[in-house]
Structure 1
Amino acid sequence: MAVLTAAAHAENRDKLVADCATIEACLSALDPAIPEHEIGIYSAEIDAVRVILKNQFGEDARNALIEKARTGHDGWNNFATALLAEWGGWEEKHIPVLRELLQRDHGGWIARALGDIGSPAAIEVLIEDLPYAGIHSQTGWALAKLGTDVLPYVLSMLEPTSANNETEPRRVRDRTVFAAQWLIGQMRSSALAVADEWIAISRDRRERKSRRIAALTGLAAMNGYLGERAFELRPLLRNRDEAISGAAYGTLVAAHDPFVARKLAKTCAPSNKQGGDAGDPFHCLFVLSDFGGNASAAGEDVIPFLSSENALEQAYGIETLGLIGYREAIPQIEPFLTSSDWRLVYAAVRALGRLQAYESVPAIEKATLDHWLPGLRRFSEIAVLKIIRHQPYDGAGNNYSPRKDFGDYNEVFRDETCNWNAWTYNGRKITFERSPYQPEKEVHLADGKLVAIDKGEFGGSFEWRPDRGEPVTLVPDNTSKIFRVKDGFLSIHGLSHLTFSHGYATLASRKASGEWTIQEVVRFPGAAYDAKRIHDETFAVKSAGYAVIFSTDGIIDVAECDYSARPRQE
């Protein structure tokens, strides 16, 4: 598969062909400069070489490069097809040899030549190659560039295997459907050119079942652009064939049809699982929230999330209610403004802002004016101003655009002000030195030990390992520190990896029976680094650029940056 990138190294290969007398001599001169393995590299010198060879030798050069691409040499295949890709002058008669080259290198540069031809036969070759090449290839690029001309050929890609090719591998079949849906999505509203035809196919009982399902799958890829045309598909929900009724339901969900909003919402049941992520409910609510106002009637079905035992599920529910415009939930959202979990406060402010909850402005101001998280204070001030001025909460006015920030609480309010790692709190200087990596830490008790396991992106846990009996996982998450405190043991958890960053502290207490109870006591603004005790029951941790001061009763404050320790700039 060829990918357009900057040249890994410049070899001035255009100078090697500047003075050769024959195409054979030019190719021989290039031989030493062609790496054995050069896949997907494109450089400006390729354009220069093409101009020279085309101007000097014309069709002889084209034919000679085709033969070079047939040799099986990776480097020459890439270089020759890169030259041929923008050669121009390709005609219908060239399609067989172009197909041969594309099958040798799925998704390679030569797909561009087929795209230049753009005839039905050329499109069929590209469609044939797409499942093997993948969408991020020259084949995908060529098809996307051809636009709506490819749509008549896409429908056959979407037909289930049973009607297409029984011997086709499942993985290829899945890639075929995905690639077809991607192509349709690339066309945005232009794909509506075939919407009426595909709607008619999906509703026509005389059509074979597989073709009707293919049409519905294609319509689903048009997403919200389908608009009110989706209404014509509603009768298919009553079809006795579950495959057709199921495909119709999926299409109506993709089209954000209000008719199916409540049915979708009823599948978004909270898990009530304490701690951890929210799993399936997140995806379900994300899809529902993308309906925007089309799902406002489903608000009452989302309300149960506000009572979930899982804080993330509560936050997702709050955000969804705001995104679908369910103003009736305002009184139930307001109490979350005083939550000790900053994520719930943030979600509540966002939802009330989207709902233009003018009546909630005093509650927002009271709850966030002195909030410990500076970024959240500033965010709330902006939200209040937009509510007062009757301005849109954000720029996402299109109900059909995915809410990319939905449920994202990964260092939302990161602060880089104090990047020299020095703070003060109550006259005490605080710095953080990351401890040497230890995958396990232990605290020994009379009848066993508590073990903190932190293996980064590979996971970890907080475990009780009794001298007798089986180990018990108290927290199924990376655990970096354990502190003895008055009421038990305070442990620090979380992960920072790629775009993920979360951190929190739990209190482990033991009953007289020996059973352990776990309670989350602090939610940090991001992953926790180098937690340390600064007083008897008071701790500090570096998180999202802040020095957070906390105890088992919650977050106390953030320390002030120590400007006296700021390095002098020369």
Structure 2
Amino acid sequence: MPMTRSARTLRLWLALACLFLAASGFAWKPPSPPEPATCGSLEACVTEMRAFVAAKDPREVKHWDAAKVLVARVLTFDGAQARLVALLADPDRRMADLASTGLVEGPAVDPRFLPQLVAGLDRNLYNLPIALGTIHTDEAARHLVRYYMASNAHSGGSAAVGVGRAGERAVPFIVEATRNARCCDHADADRLVGLVDEMGETAAGAAPGLVVIAQDPSSSDVLAADAIEVLAGLARHANAMAPQLVALREQRPAIADAIDFALVEIGAPSGEIFSRRLRDNPDQREWLLREIARAGAVARAVGPDLVPLLADADPEIRLLAATAIGSIGYTQGADALVPLLDDPRDVKLNWAAADALGRLRATQAIPPLERIAATHWYPDIRALAQRAIAAIRTGAPMDSDTGWAGGYDALGFDDRCGDSDVRVAEPGRRDKLRSGRDDAALKKLGYVATIVGYGAAEGTEPVDGVIHVTEQNMVRNEEHVAEVPRVALRVDGGWLVGGDRGEWGGELLFISDDGVKQAIYDDNIQGLGRIGDRIVAAGGIAHMTLNDGTLLDVRRGSDGRWQAIAWRGLPGAPWDLLRVDADTSLVRTQSGDVLVDADGTMRLAPCLKKKVAQ
């Protein structure tokens, strides 16, 4: 669903829905809890179980609560565990599934039932691996890891939960499974990575054995890389292996990339690794900068390579570089951050610079931070500058959360005004078409858009009830849809049109009067207009934790083709761009309404009325 309405508008729709329901006499009620089971004996409960599975599939989520209520009653009787174990071999697969649920809900399974549970694994009973994980023997752990591998299970499923319950007993068998991993697509290693990551510190004992596999001269490069990949899944729990990995890198240069990745994941000093990656993989800079920020202080040696990126042409690279400098504590980068505090190109860059300077305890930045705290046009930046000053002076930690994408994605997300006190003067239909006002005319400018997605190949079998998308089964899918633009702006020789499909993407096109189309920009476009002599497009997305917005300078190049270049970063995702006068436009965003002048100056629009908190 396109995420173009403001949070205020969404709340309005919810309020209207509630009013409708109240007026219609409808009152939503939570689902009633399952009726308690009343069977009076163990065999009577077994009979009730048969009646249950005749009507309901215990694997379906909607029946889980009722199934648990029933087996809880079964477990109140003497001999219940033995009876449930016997039912694992019942000809009715659903009955056996329900019995496995009962074993999970009950006490730890008696080890004498190990053969029956192992036999039940061949039936792929949904909860049985979890029950088997309560048998705390090496033999049970061996069977659990074997089943996890043989069933192509993934982390998060019942097989992984069962191995997790086996705990440290499973570790030798995880190492063995790594050594026996199938060549050569890394699928087994990928699934073992997910398993040890889910187990956390419990699986840390696998680290030495995994390194031994990689060191073994008889191990192929593929197997050695697999072992290192699984080791990386242990993250900081394998940190002690760093010296061996550094030595191994010299011995096995063919797996140097895998070793570098593992060194980063286990928290070893990684600045040189990141410097090399930034140099060798320019197309991966965004991902690498996020990884550098995540690595923190152990990546500090990459700092000199980050400072030049603060002047990069790509606004996202500038933003991520500033965040990374603060996250790794590269104090020598502070002077380069100061000019970014009031860089007019991007308010989020202002935020990232202030946050980084606070984290760096950059005393030389206090005067410019004081100026920003007093004069910046956006309230969140003023407040952050004050917090940065306090952190520098007191040594207290910054309370801003950079997270995966940076705390700047939460700028002003609660909207600044209920309504802005701004009078707009939108062009007429000959010059601009808007969704809701000019739908018929926009429909005539419709085009075919391509939605690209990735998923599991057709025919992929579910494991643990889930179809897992992996590197091995992933395929590219294209869907061609008829798109009616959201907005259109008249230009010489045709129309600029903007499409917005929310998380499914959008585009900016030029459609000439004779029907020829030129793709200009590949992302959602919510608004088009003129500010001074500049044609501007407002684009971005608000979806889940994303709150991105950009103003694009749209113009014809010397070759006559249209192009769109980032001009100004917005505090949040836009949902409209409206003309105020020839030199000013109002951009409505998820993070407040912003007035933008022809020279690029931005300021918050005055509020007609403060929004009332809900």
Sort the TM-score into its range (normalised by shorter chain): 0.7 to 0.9
Cα distance change on mapping 1:198 and 1:479 into 2, 3 Å = closer
Say whether the 8 Å CA contact 1:266–1:301 is kept in structure 2: no
| 2:324 pairs with 1:320 | yes
Q: Distance in 1 between matches of 2:251 and 2:544?
A: 45
Partner AA of 1:343 in structure 2: K
Deviation, structure 1 residue 478:
1.9
The 3-state SS of whatever aligns with 1:410 is helix
Which residue of 1 is the match for residue 171 of structure 2?
A: 151
Greater Cα shift, 211-220 or 476-485: 211-220
| 2:47 pairs with 1:35 | no
The 3-state SS of whatever aligns with 1:337 is helix
| 2:203 pairs with 1:181 | no
Greater Cα shift, 408-417 or 315-324: 408-417
| 2:565 pairs with 1:561 | no
Which residue of 1 is the match for residue 263 of structure 2?
A: 252
TM-score (norm. length: structure 2): 0.76
Deviation, structure 1 residue 498:
2.8
CA-to-aligned-CA distance 1:230-271 (integer Å, 9 cap, x gap): 12321211225513x44333322322332x521322322499
Cα distance change on mapping 1:39 and 1:192 into 2, 3 Å = same
Residue of structure 2 aligned with 1:373, choices 378, 384, 387 = 378
Deviation, structure 1 residue 342:
0.8
Q: Distance in 1 between matches of 2:87 and 2:33?
A: 21
Cα distance change on mapping 1:461 and 1:10 into 2, 3 Å = same
Deviation, structure 1 residue 115:
0.6
Deviation, structure 1 residue 29:
5.4
Deviation, structure 1 residue 63:
4.8
The 3-state SS of whatever aligns with 1:369 is helix
Cα distance change on mapping 1:269 and 1:467 into 2, 3 Å = farther
The 3-state SS of whatever aligns with 1:127 is helix
Say whether the 8 Å CA contact 1:65–1:80 is kept in structure 2: yes
Which residue of 2 is the match for residue 385 of structure 1?
A: 390
Which residue of 1 is the match for residue 238 of structure 2?
A: 226
Which residue of 1 is the match for residue 35 of structure 2?
A: 12
Partner AA of 2:154 in structure 1: G
Which residue of 2 is the match for residue 216 of structure 1?
A: 228
Say whether the 8 Å CA contact 2:538–2:552 is kept in structure 1: yes
Which residue of 2 is the match for residue 80 of structure 1?
A: 99
Say whether the 8 Å CA contact 2:81–2:103 is kept in structure 1: no
CA-to-aligned-CA distance 1:355-379 (integer Å, 9 cap, x gap): 1101111112213422121112112
Q: Distance in 1 between matches of 2:171 and 2:558?
A: 70
Output aligned runs, 1:240-279, within 5 Å.
240=252, 242-243=254-255, 245-258=256-269, 260-269=270-279
Which residue of 2 is the match for residue 422 of structure 1?
A: 419
The 3-state SS of whatever aligns with 2:238 is helix
Residue of structure 1 aligned with 2:308, choices 288, 304, 307 = 304
| 2:85 pairs with 1:66 | no
CA RMSD, 1 decimal: 3.6
Deviation, structure 1 residue 385:
0.7
Q: Distance in 1 between matches of 2:224 and 2:544?
A: 42
Residue of structure 2 aligned with 1:363, choices 348, 351, 368 = 368
Q: Distance in 1 between matches of 2:341 and 2:325?
A: 15
The 3-state SS of whatever aligns with 2:134 is helix
**Alignment: residue pair count:** 528
Q: Distance in 2 between matches of 1:21 and 1:188?
A: 42
The 3-state SS of whatever aligns with 1:392 is coil
Cα distance change on mapping 1:404 and 1:126 into 2, 3 Å = farther
Q: Distance in 1 between matches of 2:519 and 2:323?
A: 32
Which residue of 2 is the match for residue 497 of structure 1?
A: 543
Which residue of 2 is the match for residue 289 of structure 1?
A: 293
Cα distance change on mapping 1:389 and 1:196 into 2, 3 Å = same
Partner AA of 2:517 in structure 1: P
The 3-state SS of whatever aligns with 1:179 is helix
Which residue of 2 is the match for residue 275 of structure 1?
A: none
Residue of structure 1 aligned with 2:141, choices 107, 123, 140 = 123
Q: Distance in 2 between matches of 1:395 and 1:567?
A: 25
Deviation, structure 1 residue 345:
0.9
CA-to-aligned-CA distance 1:269-290 (integer Å, 9 cap, x gap): 4999xxxxxx721211222233
Deviation, structure 1 residue 96:
3.8
Which residue of 2 is the match for residue 454 of structure 1?
A: 500
The 3-state SS of whatever aligns with 1:305 is helix
Deviation, structure 1 residue 314:
1.0
Percent identity over the alignment is: 22
Q: Distance in 1 between matches of 2:577 and 2:222?
A: 59
Partner AA of 1:142 in structure 2: G
Cα distance change on mapping 1:253 and 1:566 into 2, 3 Å = closer
Which residue of 2 is the match for residue 405 of structure 1?
A: 404
Partner AA of 2:262 in structure 1: T
Cα distance change on mapping 1:256 and 1:36 into 2, 3 Å = closer
The 3-state SS of whatever aligns with 1:360 is helix
Deviation, structure 1 residue 301:
2.0
The 3-state SS of whatever aligns with 1:529 is strand
Any stretches of 5+ residues in structure 1 without a counterpart?
1-6, 273-278, 397-402
Partner AA of 1:449 in structure 2: W
Say whether the 8 Å CA contact 2:550–2:569 is kept in structure 1: yes
Any stretches of 5+ residues in structure 2 without a counterpart?
1-29, 426-433, 443-483
CA-to-aligned-CA distance 1:174-229 (integer Å, 9 cap, x gap): 2x323322332344445443434444454344667666445433332222343354
Say whether the 8 Å CA contact 2:411–2:591 is kept in structure 1: no
The 3-state SS of whatever aligns with 1:562 is strand
Deviation, structure 1 residue 313:
0.3
Say whether the 8 Å CA contact 1:231–1:257 is kept in structure 2: no
Say whether the 8 Å CA contact 1:23–1:53 is kept in structure 2: no
Deviation, structure 1 residue 323:
1.8
Say whether the 8 Å CA contact 1:220–1:251 is kept in structure 2: yes
Q: Distance in 2 between matches of 1:555 and 1:367?
A: 15
| 2:217 pairs with 1:195 | no
CA-to-aligned-CA distance 1:91-130 (integer Å, 9 cap, x gap): 4453343234334336x21222201113222222322333
Output aligned runs, 1:93-112, within 5 Å.
93-105=112-124, 108-112=126-130
Cα distance change on mapping 1:534 and 1:165 into 2, 3 Å = closer
| 2:568 pairs with 1:522 | yes
Which residue of 1 is the match for residue 336 of structure 2?
A: 332
